[in-house]
Copies of this chain bind each other. A is one copy, B any other.
Amino acid sequence: MVDDRKLDVLRAIVEDYVATEEPVGSKALVERHGLGVSPATVRNDMAALEEEGYIHQPHTSAGRVPTDKGYRLFVDKLATLKPMSMAERRAISTLLDGAVDLDDVVQKSVRLLSQLTRQVAIVQYPSLSRSTVRHVELVALTPTRVMVILILSTGRVEQRLVELDAELADTDLAELRAAVNRVSAGVQIAAAAAAVVDLPEAVRPEQADATRAIATVLADAMSDHRSDERVAVSGTANLARYGDFDTAVRPLLEALEEHVVLLKLLGESGVDAVTVRIGHEGPYSELAATSVVATGYGPQEFHLGSLGVVGPTRMDYPGSMAAVRAVARYVSRILDEGNQ
């Protein structure tokens, strides 16, 4: 049975442990929080909490430390989001409003998030596969060299260089450009890729070769999942505050190099729903000492990407959750504005 006071005790333990990084004992607990009961009572509660697996004693003569299960209960039942201070809100909006392009938005958000939370922040670039094609531009750099530029609804731009076997007249290029845009503008990227590869059959024979070359590259760019894996990371210096280097910092540093791993960590939480993954709950056993606080972002509740922070299980969940949500909302808003 977990009654109210036991929850209070758990909350106090989590808060103290997060603040001090040291196992917390019954006496310190009643002193620092106005629990209104004696240390002995708290000890009884602690024994019960330990029995049920919410806290744990590193060794007999030490205080208690929350377990992953304990943090989970804390997050689910106890954590009320810390409201962002006015100054913080202002910092977010002025910083992000000044962003000039998509890259800039991502860079600035990730930086901001790491500063707000003093954790490692991760922001995924808006997913390529979920966006639609806004425009395709073909630019002849030389008569046999065409730069293909793909502009997506998110503001993302991809470019590729194509070498042609034969020269392509400007008028042909213009025709081709029109044709490509006809079948792909406004269309989801995967569908556009499919439509584009069918193009060569629809054009005049003398354009077929060039069209085929360009269509191939374009389809390739549209289905290039490499760019789906782009993420920005900031705040690795905050890892320096970690206690145990080998079990906590090193695996995390390694994970941060692997963008695929990062994306899996972030997961796919819905827009406006902050997900918390605590220690072993995550997919990687090496990261059993780290937690992830993440959420999705995108205009109109449409999931375009994820962002979040990673840190030690012993982290400030309420604060991180609030910051993650606040930044995600601003990013969503900005993407929305750029898109109208």
Contact residues of A with B, CB < 8 Å? Answer: 100-101, 104, 134-135, 137, 139, 141, 147, 149, 151, 155, 157-161, 224, 226, 234-237, 239-240, 245-246, 249-250, 253-254, 256-257, 338
Copies of this chain held together in the complex: 2
Nearest Cβ in chain B — how far from A131, in angstroms? 14
A138 nearest CB neighbor, chain B only: B137
Contacts of A139 in B (CB 8 A): 135, 137, 151
Nearest Cβ in chain B — how far from A226, in angstroms? 8
Q: Contacts A101-B159, A139-B151, A147-B135 given; indicate if A256 touches B240 (C-beta within 8 A).
A: no
Most buried by B among A101, A224, A246: A101
Given A157-B157, A240-B253, 7 additional A-B pairs, CB 8 A = A101-B158, A135-B139, A137-B137, A137-B139, A141-B151, A149-B157, A237-B256
A104 nearest CB neighbor, chain B only: B226
Contacts of A135 in B (CB 8 A): 139, 141, 147
Bound-complex Cα distance A237 to B224 (A): 27
Most buried by B among A100, A157, A250: A100
Nearest Cβ in chain B — how far from A227, in angstroms? 8
A137 adjacent to B160 (CB under 8 Å): no
13 contacts between A and B (CB under 8 A): A101-B159, A101-B160, A149-B149, A155-B159, A155-B161, A157-B159, A161-B338, A234-B257, A236-B236, A237-B250, A237-B257, A240-B246, A240-B249
A240 nearest CB neighbor, chain B only: B250
Bound-complex Cα distance A253 to B161 (A): 36
Contacts of A245 in B (CB 8 A): 240, 245
Contact of A100 among B137, B160, B237 (CB under 8 A): B160
Q: Contacts A245-B245, A250-B237 given; indicate if A151 touches B147 (C-beta within 8 A).
A: yes
Bound-complex Cα distance A245 to B253 (A): 14
Bound-complex Cα distance A186 to B62 (A): 72
Contacts of A253 in B (CB 8 A): 236-237, 239-240
Bound-complex Cα distance A236 to B235 (A): 12
Nearest Cβ in chain B — how far from A156, in angstroms? 9
A149 adjacent to B137 (CB under 8 Å): yes
Contact of A236 among B149, B159, B256 (CB under 8 A): B256
Contacts of A158 in B (CB 8 A): 101
9 smallest beta-carbon distances between A and B, as pairs: A240-B250, A237-B253, A237-B254, A157-B159, A135-B139, A137-B137, A236-B253, A237-B257, A137-B139
Nearest Cβ in chain B — how far from A21, in angstroms? 16
Contacts of A151 in B (CB 8 A): 139, 141, 147, 149, 159
B101 adjacent to A161 (CB under 8 Å): yes
Contacts of A240 in B (CB 8 A): 245-246, 249-250, 253-254
